[in-house]
Structures are given as structure tokens and as C-alpha cells.
């Protein structure tokens, strides 16, 4: 066995000559894509992923056509700053009652007699 294990003993020092265009074309002609892997059903992949704890990022199935209470009509954006002592209980109440913020405001206004 020689001391030149990797075959670099005869390498010349200095810059390598630029390959010719013809040499590059010949080299490119030898490249071939790998054949595609065997087709695996996506359902099988999904089952394996679910067992490993991965959650689907696909859109949820379409709803059954029922709309949420009060989602009709035009909307207006209301931006407000609220003290933490007011905002935190309001947000917690909306989460508990499963209201969006606008639905929570609507419910509070109804309870105050401002809406029917």
C-alpha cells in the first residue's frame, strides 16, 4: 500500500486550468436524474406523522354552513388602549364565553341596555 492513500500525490501545485466549454458540455451530458422513489400513499405518511405527534397544517374541513352569531353586516375597525386591570379580565371573559372581542363588546352593550 502506498503512502498516497487518497491519490493526491501527483497533484500539481498552482491554479488548475479552466475547463473548455466542450469538456463542460460532455460532463453535463453524463448527469442523469435519480429515478423517483416508490410512490407512498399520502394517507400512510399522514398516519405515521400523526403517531409521531405531528399535526396537520392543512385547512380544517369546511363548516356545515352555519355562521357564528351576529356575523352579518359591515364592520369597522376599533383600536383602543386599555389598562391591564380592564383588558385582562375582559380577554379572560371572552375566552371563557368563547366570544370574539367584538362579540364580547356586543354582549356587554346588550346587558347595559344599549342594544336590543
Look at residues 88, 91, 87 and name the one whose alpha carbon lies nearest to residue 104.
Answer: 91
**What local confidence, expressed as pLDDT, does residue 65 receive?**
58
Residue 16: predicted pLDDT: 74
Residue-wise pLDDT tens digits, 3-26: 777 767 766 677 777 889 998 999
Domain boundaries of the chain, sorted by first residue: 83-116
12 vs 5, 18, 23, 102, CA distance in Å? 17, 14, 20, 76
pLDDT at 8: 73
Predicted model pTM: 0.39
List average pLDDT for each run of 10 residues in the chain, which is 116 residues long.
68 76 90 85 89 82 60 80 94 95 94 91
Amino acid at each position: 500500500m502506498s503512502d498516497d492513500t487518497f491519490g493526491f500525490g501527483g497533484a500539481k501545485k498552482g491554479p488548475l486550468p479552466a475547463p473548455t466549454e466542450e469538456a463542460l458540455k460532455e460532463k453535463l451530458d453524463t448527469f442523469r436524474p435519480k429515478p423517483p422513489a416508490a410512490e407512498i400513499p399520502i394517507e400512510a405518511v399522514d398516519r405515521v406523522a400523526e403517531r409521531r405527534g405531528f399535526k396537520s397544517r392543512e385547512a380544517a374541513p369546511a363548516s356545515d354552513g352555519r355562521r357564528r352569531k351576529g356575523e352579518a353586516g359591515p364592520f369597522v375597525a376599533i383600536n383602543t388602549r386599555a389598562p391591564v386591570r380592564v383588558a385582562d379580565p375582559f380577554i379572560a371573559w371572552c375566552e371563557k364565553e368563547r366570544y370574539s372581542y367584538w362579540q364580547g363588546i356586543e354582549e356587554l352593550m346588550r346587558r347595559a341596555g344599549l342594544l336590543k
